[in-house]
Chains A and B, each alone.
Chain A
Amino acid sequence: ILNVEQSPQSLHVQEGDSTNFTCSFPSSNFYALHWYRWETAKSPEALFVMTLNGDEKKKGRISATLNTKEGYSYLYIKGSQPEDSATYLCAFLTGNQFYFGTGTSLTVIP
């Protein structure tokens, strides 16, 4: 079983603050790195699928970077809003299987 780590485990920020989280994964046998947002009582929703070293992806105020050689990805949220409150999961894809991190729980305080 591969180890995918996310930090921090939880985060509380004020509305308007920018924040970032980290996903660490094995640097070998890399196929893709996925980011998901999971709001309470809803389905996890895909944010980004990243496949190439150096990838940078952006969706609105949320962006992500990927470093496959050192085995990490950063997720950034600019100007956090209360609706950004959720658990952010990363998933490392190798072969045919996804390995998920434990998630970062973000709470944005109005």
Chain B
Amino acid sequence: EAGVAQSPRYKIIEKRQSVAFWCNPISGHATLYWYQQILGQGPKLLIQFQNNGVVDDSQLPKDRFSAERLKGVDSTLKIQPAKLEDSAVYLCASTVGRYEQYFGPGTRLTVT
């Protein structure tokens, strides 16, 4: 079974630039999560999708972050414009129901 794919693995941008991350979950997994993990902290949920609908985006900074999951499969997370404090690892995970989450390798973003 193929795992959760994410790209790019690493990204370095200057503040005020835009960036987009891509996630392809495990086939058949209806629930998809985007997490932000800042160094020294635990992963923080940004947005949760069930199929192509948003279940929870209460912690997504909507003035600069956006996410979509077209056709209930792939998802993209965008930051526009980026700030220094957005430097983090962005993790995508998928799951079936409330069972264990399967994570992608993450995208490490550095904003300079």
Binding site for B on A (CB under 8 A): 1, 4, 6, 31-32, 34, 36, 41-46, 49, 89, 91, 93, 96-103
> Does B48 interact with chain A (Cβ within 8 Å)?
yes
B45 touches A98 (CB 8 A): yes
Chain A residues whose C-beta falls within 8 Å of the C-beta of B42 in the assembled complex: 4, 6, 89, 99-103
CA gap between A1 and B96 in the complex, in Å: 24
B103 touches A43 (CB 8 A): yes
Encode B86-100 as 1/0 by CB contact (under 8 A) with A. 000001010000111
Residue of B35, B48, B99 near A49 (CB, 8 A) is B99
B91 touches A44 (CB 8 A): yes
> Does B53 interact with chain A (Cβ within 8 Å)?
no
Known A41-B105, A43-B3, A102-B41: A97·B100 in contact at CB below 8 Å: no
Encode B1-25 as 1/0 by CB contact (under 8 A) with A. 0011000000000000000000000
Residue of A34, A41, A103 near B101 (CB, 8 A) is A34
Tally of contact residues, B, Cβ under 8 A? 25
Summarize B's interface: helix, strand, loop or mixed.
Answer: loop
Residue of B48, B98, B105 near A42 (CB, 8 A) is B105
Known A97-B56, A103-B42: A46·B48 in contact at CB below 8 Å: no
Chain B residues whose C-beta falls within 8 Å of the C-beta of A6 in the assembled complex: 42
CA gap between A102 and B59 in the complex, in Å: 17
Give the interface centre of A1, A31, A98 by most chain B CB atoms within 10 Å: A98
Q: 28 A–B contact pairs at CB < 8 A?
A: A4-B42, A6-B42, A31-B98, A34-B100, A34-B101, A36-B103, A42-B105, A43-B3, A43-B4, A43-B102, A43-B104, A43-B106, A44-B91, A44-B101, A46-B101, A49-B99, A89-B43, A96-B48, A97-B45, A97-B48, A98-B33, A98-B101, A99-B42, A100-B44, A101-B42, A102-B40, A102-B42, A103-B42
Residue of B41, B56, B102, B104 near A46 (CB, 8 A) is B102
> Does B84 interact with chain A (Cβ within 8 Å)?
no
